[in-house]
């Protein structure tokens, strides 16, 4: 006598062997209890980067991300990242968020037009800086990377206090060290500078008129074209940065930065 339960079990086994989903991943999921949308290593499938995904990634990032990091995370090449960043930058132009670019790094920030409202929400007033701090910041913005020695020669006074104040406010950052003797620190601007002045990149810095640009020239470099070897700076054109100096060079470096 044939056991009915045995016949039923054999029939089910035959059906399972003869049928499939047609999707290797789904079949593997049935056989091995794994998610069909994961690759064999268990990692989420990659290889594409949409504008929406890029915006979401930058939104949750707690720090600026490099293009290389984004490419690695998304499993795409650098050209794809650059293309999606360009698309996202255009999309965000009419919205309350902006895409900030600083060298190879990118991040999202609020639009400068919303600055007053956001400041009221967070309870902060507009940043007030002394003329000495503004002058120092303008020199750094337009001459970066620049050493403290060059800043002081342009201003004609000791600028240690202003530089320390700007570093504390993160308007100025240390970019590295010069190859000049003593390897002095090279200063430049970072994302906080762009956010504070409503810029998306250093290319948005307004051009300087001849008079202001002339005041940002290092006296030593002006006297000797080869002096940049000793200062660790580039004596090229001085019209690539943010707001011009607030005061003429000279005077004491005092007061709040």
**Per-domain residue ranges for the chain?**
51-113, 131-231
Predicted confidence at residue 14, as pLDDT, reads: 52
| Res. 195 pLDDT band, cuts 50 70 90 | confident
For residues 9 and 78, which has the higher predicted lDDT (pLDDT)?
A: 78
d(CA 183, CA 210): 31
Q: Under CATH, which architecture does the 51-113 domain have?
A: Orthogonal Bundle (1.10)
169-189: pLDDT as tens digits: 889 999 999 998 889 999 999
User: What is the DSSP secondary structure assignment for residue 187, as one 8-state letter?
Assistant: E
Question: Which candidate, 137, 144, 58, places its Cα nearest to that of 101?
Answer: 58
Predicted confidence at residue 167, as pLDDT, reads: 92
Q: Which residue has the tokens 């990091």?
A: 69
Look at 81-85, 150-154, 228-232, 239-243 and tell me which has the smallest mean pLDDT.
239-243
Whether residue 153 has pLDDT greater than 50: yes
Predicted confidence at residue 129, as pLDDT, reads: 82
82: its two tokens: 């650059």
CATH number for 131-231 (one of 3.40.30.10, 3.30.360.10, 3.90.550.10, 1.10.10.10): it is 1.10.10.10
> Which residues have a Cβ under 8 Å from the Cβ of 190 and sit 6 or more positions away?
102, 170, 171, 172, 173
Predicted confidence at residue 28, as pLDDT, reads: 43
> Which residues have a Cβ under 8 Å from the Cβ of 183 and sit 6 or more positions away?
177
For residues 27 and 244, which has the higher predicted lDDT (pLDDT)?
A: 27
| Res. 146 pLDDT band, cuts 50 70 90 | very high
Domain 51-113 shares a fold with domain 131-231? yes
227-243: pLDDT as tens digits: 444 444 443 333 333 33
- Residue 172, Cα to own-chain centre: how many angstroms? 14
d(CA 165, CA 158): 13
- Residue 106, Cα to own-chain centre: how many angstroms? 3
Whether residue 210 has pLDDT greater than 70: yes
Whether residue 152 has pLDDT greater than 90: yes
């Amino acid at each position: 006598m044939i056991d009915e339960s045995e016949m039923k079990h054999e029939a089910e086994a035959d059906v399972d062997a003869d049928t499939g989903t047609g999707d290797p991943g789904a079949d593997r999921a049935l056989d091995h209890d794994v998610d069909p949308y994961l690759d064999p290593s268990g990692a989420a499938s990659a290889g594409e980067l949409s504008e929406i995904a890029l915006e979401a990634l930058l939104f949750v990032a707690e720090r600026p991300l490099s293009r290389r990091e984004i490419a690695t995370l998304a499993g795409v090449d650098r050209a794809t990242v650059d293309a999606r960043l360009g698309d996202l930058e255009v999309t965000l132009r009419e919205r309350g968020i902006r895409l900030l670019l600083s060298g190879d790094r990118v991040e999202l920030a609020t639009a400068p037009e919303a600055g007053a409202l956001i400041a009221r929400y967070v309870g902060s007033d507009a940043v007030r800086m002394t003329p000495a701090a503004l002058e120092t910041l303008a020199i750094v913005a337009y001459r970066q990377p620049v050493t403290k020695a060059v800043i002081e020669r342009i201003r004609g006074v000791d600028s240690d206090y202003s530089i320390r104040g700007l570093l504390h406010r993160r308007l100025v950052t240390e970019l590295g060290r010069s190859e000049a003797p003593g390897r002095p620190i090279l200063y430049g601007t970072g994302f906080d500078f762009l956010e504070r002045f409503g810029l998306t990149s250093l290319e948005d810095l307004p051009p300087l008129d001849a008079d202001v640009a002339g005041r940002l020239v290092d006296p030593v470099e002006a006297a000797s074209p080869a002096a940049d070897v000793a200062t660790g700076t580039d004596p090229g054109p001085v019209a690539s940065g943010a707001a011009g100096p607030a005061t003429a060079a000279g005077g004491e470096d005092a007061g709040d930065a």
